[in-house]
């Protein structure tokens, strides 16, 4: 869509010469500037109050959190049903859609488009009748402190607005890596908001980076490739319906994120996938709810991006109004199916196979020549010359790693109960505290054969990769341990957090790293004496040692490995080293009440 085509339509939507001028209190700085600029966060606060004052029967402005720099996090509940609180929405059995902008505050299209769509929907100019069928929860700016780190060139790969916020929070968290681990106060507030309203759909508004091409937006939805099978059909229908609406309005939508397989090489094509639950689309499928990732193309001018985002919001509201009640029913059935997943294999993450198909992609003519600045081979696009690229798309997505869930649930020893319980509570996961000691309890334990810490910090964590297997053992549990049952609607989310090899588990984010650090040692001179005594006392051990020396040259040449051969078989060895400190159980132990 060209800017020449987009601007007249946008001016009309914003109150151009063919429509009555909107009240000044309900217009954004972006509108008044011709969508060259965006307003500061105090404008968001003022608009939230102004919409409530102008439409008291349909809008409630409320705070749902506080940022680390002391800014209130604002949301608007919008409906013409009178259901402007979570309890009222649930009592009326209304579908709720939560639409948030500014998770990356430099990509602020969603804030300005959302306020524009809000006014038009309330005035009956768009999504007519939708507010009688649903509740819309609108968070204009998620990363409020990031929004106020304001300046030009905060998004060097983006065309407008003139100044914008920053990608991360004041604590330098990337909120779109924080859904599962929930480190930041902002994400903790968002998860509490989600838990209160239980939206059937969560819409995450962004502007992408990337190459230059004609396509102006991508719409990615889950469940489509992952999650509950019936919800996949709903997600596919929702995605395709919104894309069809956008195409009818002149956009060129894509169902995948348009990032090249090989950076800066258009002929390498594209790869679809399922995001892990640090991202919104990977997270909400684990709660049996829909999530849509909206990415306008950063190389389109800001007025064009705002228009297309506005169109997307309106389409979302129309689809939820028409089919939301039905989709809520499908989601509730998915909750019931999830609660019966004990004993079944579920994917922990996904991968894309090498299978590819050739697709037509609307790009521009380009050249790849050495740069006189960097010396590297660089791609240069000619935006005056559209070109149809025929490139590979890899979109066959399969589970990469799966786990068979326990029939009972997971056990968290008392020493870690408070820390793990806090994490579970943030996600609305049910668990029980075991009030009596459980001696010699039959469980499954995961002992890591390798534990590989990341070499660099990620989001303030040293991530950990574990290899190993679950095996039967007996363990003693002290009173105060936690029991986390699988028989609950968020069983997939339980597994995502507590299976040690899941990509965004507590273990993967380094929450248990001390359990994979060696703390005690046997001096060599002690090990030498111990080894001789063990060999003398156990002929079978002597035979095993001799065979290892004969068959394993690396072992034979490594004095430390030879001594550790004996240390690991001695009672002095730390049996808790590399023991993952969460166990599986096939049944609830001496139970107490399970609660959230």
Predicted pLDDT at 78:
99
> Coil, strand or helix: which one is 122?
helix
What H or E segment, with its residue span, contains residue 491?
Answer: helix 491-498
Q: Is the dihedral of CA 263, 264, 265, 266 positive or negative?
A: positive
DSSP letters, 258-326, are: --BSSTT-GGG-EE-----TTSHHHHHGGGT-EEEEEEEETTS-HHHHHHHHHHHHHHHHHHHHHHHHH
Classify residue 112: in a domain, yes or no: yes
Strand partners, 446: 470
**Please, which pLDDT band fits residue 18 given cuts at 50, 70 and 90?**
very low
Asked if residue 414 and residue 544 are part of one domain, the reply reads no
Asked if residue 37 and residue 104 are part of one domain, the reply reads yes
The C-alpha atoms of residue 456 and residue 146 are separated, in whole angstroms, by: 24
Classify residue 363: in a domain, yes or no: yes
What H or E segment, with its residue span, contains residue 474?
Answer: strand 464-477
Predicted pLDDT at 209:
80
Asked if residue 513 and residue 378 are part of one domain, the reply reads no
Asked if residue 157 and residue 114 are part of one domain, the reply reads yes
C-alpha triplet 57, 58, 62: angle, nearest 5°: 100
What H or E segment, with its residue span, contains residue 382?
Answer: strand 377-394
Res 8 pLDDT > 50? no
> Coil, strand or helix: which one is 23?
coil
Q: Is the peptide bond before 223 cis (omega within 30 degrees of 0)?
A: yes
Listed in sequence order, the residues at least 6 apart from 368 whose beta carbon sits closer than 8 Å to its beta carbon are: 265, 377, 378, 379, 380
pTM of the predicted protein model: 0.93
The CATH number given to whatever domain includes residue 135 is: 3.40.630.10
Asked if residue 186 and residue 77 are part of one domain, the reply reads yes
Last residue of a domain, one of 346, 369, 393: 393
The C-alpha atoms of residue 473 and residue 286 are separated, in whole angstroms, by: 29
Of 12-21, 116-125, 343-352, 418-427, the poorest mean pLDDT is in 12-21
Res 23 pLDDT > 90? no
DSSP letters, 227-271, are: S-HHHHHHHHHHHHHHHHHHHHTT--EESS---BSSTT-GGG-EE
Asked if residue 207 and residue 305 are part of one domain, the reply reads yes
The C-alpha atoms of residue 171 and residue 596 are separated, in whole angstroms, by: 29
Asked if residue 121 and residue 64 are part of one domain, the reply reads yes
Q: pLDDT (tens digit, 9 = 90+) per residue, 484-515?
A: 999 999 999 999 999 999 999 999 999 999 99
CB 15 within 8 A of CB 120: no
As a whole number, mean pLDDT of residues 400-423 equals 98
**Please, which pLDDT band fits residue 596 given cuts at 50, 70 and 90?**
low
Q: pLDDT (tens digit, 9 = 90+) per residue, 89-141?
A: 999 999 999 999 999 999 999 999 999 999 999 999 999 999 999 999 999 99
As a whole number, mean pLDDT of residues 189-207 equals 98
Instruction: Report the DSSP pairing between strands 357-370 and 377-394.
Output: antiparallel
The C-alpha atoms of residue 526 and residue 18 are separated, in whole angstroms, by: 91
CA 378 from chain centre, in angstroms, equals 32
C-alpha triplet 20, 24, 26: angle, nearest 5°: 90
Classify residue 343: in a domain, yes or no: no
Asked if residue 40 and residue 186 are part of one domain, the reply reads yes
Classify residue 291: in a domain, yes or no: yes
In eight-state DSSP terms, residue 151 is B
DSSP letters, 42-74, are: HHHHHHHHHHHHH-TTTEEEEEEEE-TTSPEEE
Res 22 pLDDT > 80? yes
Predicted pLDDT at 11:
44
Of 5-14, 297-306, 405-414, the poorest mean pLDDT is in 5-14
**Please, which pLDDT band fits residue 15 given cuts at 50, 70 and 90?**
very low
The C-alpha atoms of residue 246 and residue 67 are separated, in whole angstroms, by: 35
Asked if residue 511 and residue 530 are part of one domain, the reply reads no
Classify residue 347: in a domain, yes or no: no
CB 328 within 8 A of CB 200: yes
Mean pLDDT estimate for the chain: 95
Domain count, the chain: 4
Predicted pLDDT at 210:
77
Res 3 pLDDT > 80? no
Predicted pLDDT at 350:
98
Q: pLDDT (tens digit, 9 = 90+) per residue, 232-279?
A: 999 999 999 999 999 999 999 999 999 999 999 999 999 999 999 999
Res 4 pLDDT > 80? no
Strand partners, 379: 368
Question: Using DSSP, how many helices (H) and how many strands (E) does the chain show?
Answer: 16, 19
Asked if residue 421 and residue 275 are part of one domain, the reply reads no
The C-alpha atoms of residue 235 and residue 247 are separated, in whole angstroms, by: 18
Give me the domain span that covers residue 215. 3-261+270-338
Asked if residue 540 and residue 502 are part of one domain, the reply reads no
Classify residue 365: in a domain, yes or no: yes
Q: At what angle do helices 302-338 and 229-248 cross, to 10 degrees?
A: 160
CA 235 from chain centre, in angstroms, equals 16
Res 9 pLDDT > 90? no
Residue 269 is encoded by which pair of tokens?
Answer: 């094509």
Instruction: Report the DSSP pairing between strands 135-139 and 217-222.
Output: unpaired
Task: Count the Cβ atoms, other than its own, within 10 Å of residue 177.
Answer: 18
As a whole number, mean pLDDT of residues 406-421 equals 98
Measure Cα distances from 76 to 199, 315, 346, 421, 477 in Å. 14, 19, 37, 30, 46
Listed in sequence order, the residues at least 6 apart from 458 whose beta carbon sits closer than 8 Å to its beta carbon are: none
Predicted pLDDT at 146:
98
> Coil, strand or helix: which one is 21?
coil
As a whole number, mean pLDDT of residues 294-311 equals 97
The C-alpha atoms of residue 370 and residue 397 are separated, in whole angstroms, by: 35
Top-confidence residue, 14 or 123: 123
Measure Cα distances from 190 to 111, 113, 162, 281, 493 in Å. 16, 21, 28, 15, 17
The C-alpha atoms of residue 340 and residue 328 are separated, in whole angstroms, by: 19
Strand partners, 99: 138, 203
> Coil, strand or helix: which one is 490?
coil
The C-alpha atoms of residue 316 and residue 320 are separated, in whole angstroms, by: 6
**Please, which pLDDT band fits residue 21 given cuts at 50, 70 and 90?**
confident
Listed in sequence order, the residues at least 6 apart from 346 whose beta carbon sits closer than 8 Å to its beta carbon are: 402, 403, 405, 491, 492, 495
Predicted pLDDT at 410:
98
Res 411 pLDDT > 90? yes
Classify residue 593: in a domain, yes or no: no
Asked if residue 183 and residue 55 are part of one domain, the reply reads yes
The C-alpha atoms of residue 46 and residue 140 are separated, in whole angstroms, by: 12
Classify residue 350: in a domain, yes or no: no
- Which of 201, 202, 196, 205 minimizes the C-alpha distance to 322? 201
């Amino acid at each position: 869509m060209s800017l020449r085509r987009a601007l007249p339509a946008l001016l009309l939507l914003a109150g151009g010469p063919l429509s009555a001028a909107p009240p000044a209190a309900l217009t954004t700085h972006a509108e008044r500037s011709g969508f060259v600029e965006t307003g500061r966060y105090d404008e968001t606060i003022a608009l939230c109050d102004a919409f409530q004052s102008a439409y008291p029967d349909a809008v409630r402005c409320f705070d749902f959190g506080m940022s680390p720099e002391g800014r209130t996090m604002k949301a608007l509940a919008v409906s013409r049903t009178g259901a402007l609180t979570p309890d009222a929405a649930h009592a009326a059995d209304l579908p709720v859609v939560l639409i948030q902008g500014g998770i990356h505050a430099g990509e602020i299209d969603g804030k300005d488009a959302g306020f524009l769509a809000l006014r038009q929907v309330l005035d009956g100019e768009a999504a007519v009748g939708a507010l009688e069928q649903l509740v819309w929860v609108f968070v204009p700016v998620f990363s409020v402190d990031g929004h106020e780190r304001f300046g030009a060139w905060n998004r060097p790969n983006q065309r407008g607005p003139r100044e914008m916020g920053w990608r991360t929070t004041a604590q330098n968290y990337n909120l779109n890596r924080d859904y599962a681990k929930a480190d930041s106060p902002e994400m903790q507030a968002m998860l509490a908001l989600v838990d209160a309203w239980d939206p059937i759909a969560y819409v995450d508004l962004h502007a992408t980076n990337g190459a230059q091409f004609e396509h102006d937006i991508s719409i990615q939805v889950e469940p489509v490739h992952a999650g509950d099978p019936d919800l996949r059909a709903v997600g596919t229908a929702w995605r395709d319906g919104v894309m069809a609406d956008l195409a009818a309005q002149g956009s060129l939508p894509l169902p995948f994120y348009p990032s090249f397989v090989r950076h800066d090489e258009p002929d390498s094509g594209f790869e679809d996938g399922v995001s892990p639950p640090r991202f919104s689309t990977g997270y909400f499928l684990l709660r049996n709810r829909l999530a849509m990732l909206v990415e306008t193309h950063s190389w389109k001018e800001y007025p064009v991006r705002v228009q297309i985002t506005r169109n997307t919001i309106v389409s979302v509201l129309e689809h939820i109004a028409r089919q939301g009640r039905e989709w809520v029913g499908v989601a509730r059935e998915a909750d019931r199916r999830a609660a019966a997943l004990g004993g079944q294999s579920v994917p922990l993450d996904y991968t894309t196979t090498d299978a590819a198909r050739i697709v037509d992609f609307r790009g521009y003519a380009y050249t790849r020549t050495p740069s006189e600045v960097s010396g590297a081979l660089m791609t240069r696009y000619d935006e005056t010359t559209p070109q149809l690229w025929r490139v590979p798309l890899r979109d066959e997505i399969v589970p990469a790693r799966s786990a068979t869930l326990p029939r009972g649930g997971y056990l968290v020893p008392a020493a870690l109960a408070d820390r793990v319980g806090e994490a579970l509570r943030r996600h609305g996961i049910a668990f029980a505290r075991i009030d009596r000691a459980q001696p010699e309890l039959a469980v499954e334990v995961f002992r890591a054969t390798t534990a590989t810490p990341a070499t660099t910090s990620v989001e303030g964590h040293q991530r950990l990769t574990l290899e190993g297997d679950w095996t039967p053992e007996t363990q003693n549990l002290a009173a105060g341990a936690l029991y986390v049952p699988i028989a609950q609607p968020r069983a997939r989310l339980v597994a995502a957090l507590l299976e040690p090899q899941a990509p965004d588990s507590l273990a993967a984010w380094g929450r248990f790293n001390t359990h994979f650090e060696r703390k005690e040692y046997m001096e060599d001179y002690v090990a030498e004496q111990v080894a001789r005594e063990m060999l003398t006392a156990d002929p079978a051990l002597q035979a095993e040692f001799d065979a290892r020396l004969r068959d394993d040259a690396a072992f034979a040449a490594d004095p430390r490995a030879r001594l550790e051969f004996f240390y690991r078989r001695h009672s002095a060895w730390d049996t808790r080293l590399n023991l993952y400190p969460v166990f599986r159980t096939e049944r609830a132990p001496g139970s107490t009440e399970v609660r959230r």
